[in-house]
Each structure stands twice: as structure tokens, then as C-alpha cells.
């Protein structure tokens, strides 16, 4: 890593203000040059340029990004339409209205088969303890997502259906989300710390036809029996 750069001004006057200024001093580290060169946004200046363009020319900015993705059918009309002024009518925003794609295909299939990056690590994972770690490549993730989507299909899940996902932050959570996207199903993420009653309310509110969960997990030293909570929630849904 590069050397730390300290920025900030100490207040002039009393010792208290100087001490407060020291506490509020911002510390930052510059990345190594080889990391910057290969980064999508190599510098703060480049970030500011991109941000400025996204604000001043949103259609052109997001239009260029959209060209990097696969589209089953392109946008037949205006790329971006919106109204945030109540005096001019209904508030709305429309992005690429009428265009169709598959997020899972863009995230996995295209990366593995077209870009030949299947052996590249998709993400790293660390569990409840520092020694509980793993990593998964794009190819491995694609295989798991396909298996999960096949299971969902056998359970009757089709395009437009809603699926509730009640899981901790584990790799299978990502697999479940992408499997839903692959089938065109909508997924509703429910925080694993929520109660059975809260889970029940969210299942009913979103009209979910399937719930994906896990048996249990540790939060610190506490064992959370998620399956028991899920069973209780489903019983409440039947009442």
C-alpha cells in the first residue's frame, strides 16, 4: 500500500479546537501504481469526471454503460425519461422501457463463455470466525446457480413468481438470488435477524409462493435456529 496522506486543518485558537481538529483528521492511502493502472476507475480525478458526466449527461453516460451488456431486445423508445416536478405532472422515471435482458446471464454466462473469465474469483467470503473463509470462481458460481434454478423450477417457480429468501450472509444467498433472476422470478430478501412474525408479514406482503432458508447460523457466539423461525413464520402465514 502507499504511504498514508493526512489532510485536515487544526483549529486556530484554543487547545481544545486543536485537539478536535486532530481527531477529525482524515487519513487516506494511495493504492500501488500497478493497482491503479488496472482499475476500472484509476484515479479520483477520473471518478469526478465520470460523476460529472452522469449528472450532466445521464442519457449518454448510462447509454454507454448499457452497451457493455447483453440485451435480448433493445429499447424501442427513449433511453431515459423522468419527471421529478409535481407541477409538471405525475412523478415517474423510466429506464430503457421495453428492453429485455437477463441479469444472471450478464453476470455469469457472458463472463464465463464469452469473456473466458470462468477461473477468475467472483467473490471472497469470510464467516463468523476469521479462519472460516472460502472463495468462488465465476464458473463454480454458474454451476451452483444452474443447479439451484433447476430445483426452483421443479418446485413450480416460473417467470413473475415471487420468492422469499431468509438467509444469513453466506455464498448460498447469492446463489439463490441469481437463480431467481435466471428464471425471471422476483426475490424478496428478508434479514436473517428478523423474527418469525416479521418474516410472515413480508411473505404475505409480497405474495411469495416459496421460501428459501437455511437450518441455522452463528452470530458471534449466539446460535440462531433459522429453520425453526421459518417454520413458525409459515404457520402464521396459514392462519
Q: What is the pLDDT of residue 71?
A: 93
- 151 has pLDDT over 80: yes
Tell me the pLDDT of the chain averaged across its residues. 89
Q: What is the pLDDT of residues 59-110, one digit of tens each?
A: 899 989 999 899 999 889 888 889 999 999 999 999 999 999 999 999 999 9
Task: Specify the DSSP class assigned to residue 64.
Answer: H
Domain end (from 83, 100, 117): 100
Q: What is the CATH number of the domain that holds 209?
A: 3.40.50.980
Instruction: Say whether both 145 and 197 belong to one domain.
Output: yes
Task: Specify the DSSP class assigned to residue 193.
Answer: T
32 domain residue, yes or no = no
Average pLDDT over residues 19-43: 80
Average pLDDT over residues 25-36: 84
13 domain residue, yes or no = no
Average pLDDT over residues 114-139: 94
15 domain residue, yes or no = no
- The answer to whether 60 touches 66, Cβ cutoff 8 Å, is no
**Cα–Cα distance between 99 and 106 in angstroms, integer?**
14
Instruction: Say whether both 117 and 226 belong to one domain.
Output: yes
Instruction: Say whether both 56 and 132 belong to one domain.
Output: no
Residues of the domain holding 130 = 102-238
220 domain residue, yes or no = yes
Q: What is the pLDDT of residue 159?
A: 95
Total number of domains in the chain: 2
Q: Half-sphere exposure of residue 115, counting CA atoms within 13 Å on the CB side?
A: 17
Q: What is the pLDDT of residue 7?
A: 43
Amino acid at each position: 500500500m502507499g504511504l498514508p496522506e493526512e489532510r485536515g486543518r487544526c483549529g486556530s485558537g484554543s487547545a481544545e479546537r486543536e485537539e478536535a481538529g486532530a481527531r477529525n483528521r482524515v487519513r487516506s492511502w494511495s493504492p500501488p501504481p500497478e493497482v491503479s493502472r488496472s482499475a476500472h476507475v484509476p484515479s479520483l480525478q477520473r471518478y469526478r469526471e465520470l460523476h460529472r458526466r452522469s449528472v450532466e449527461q445521464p442519457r449518454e453516460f448510462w447509454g454507454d454503460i448499457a452497451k457493455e451488456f447483453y440485451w435480448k431486445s433493445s429499447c424501442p423508445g427513449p433511453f431515459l425519461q423522468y419527471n421529478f416536478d409535481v407541477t409538471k405532472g405525475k412523478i415517474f422515471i423510466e429506464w430503457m422501457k421495453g428492453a429485455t435482458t437477463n441479469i444472471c446471464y450478464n453476470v455469469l454466462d457472458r463472463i464465463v463463455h464469452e469473456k473466458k473469465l470462468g477461473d477468475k474469483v467472483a467473490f471472497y467470503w469470510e464467516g463468523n470466525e476469521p479462519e472460516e473463509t472460502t472463495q468462488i470462481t465465476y464458473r463454480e458460481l454458474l454451476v451452483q446457480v444452474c443447479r439451484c434454478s433447476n430445483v426452483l423450477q421443479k418446485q413450480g417457480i416460473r417467470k413473475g413468481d415471487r420468492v422469499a429468501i431468509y438467509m444469513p450472509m453466506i455464498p448460498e444467498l447469492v446463489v439463490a438470488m441469481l437463480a431467481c433472476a435466471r428464471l425471471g422470478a422476483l426475490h424478496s430478501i428478508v434479514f436473517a435477524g428478523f423474527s418469525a412474525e416479521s418474516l410472515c408479514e413480508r411473505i404475505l406482503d409480497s405474495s411469495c409462493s416459496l421460501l428459501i432458508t437455511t437450518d441455522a447460523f452463528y452470530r458471534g457466539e449466539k446460535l440462531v435456529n433459522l429453520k425453526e423461525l421459518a417454520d413458525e413464520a409459515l404457520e402464521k402465514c396459514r392462519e
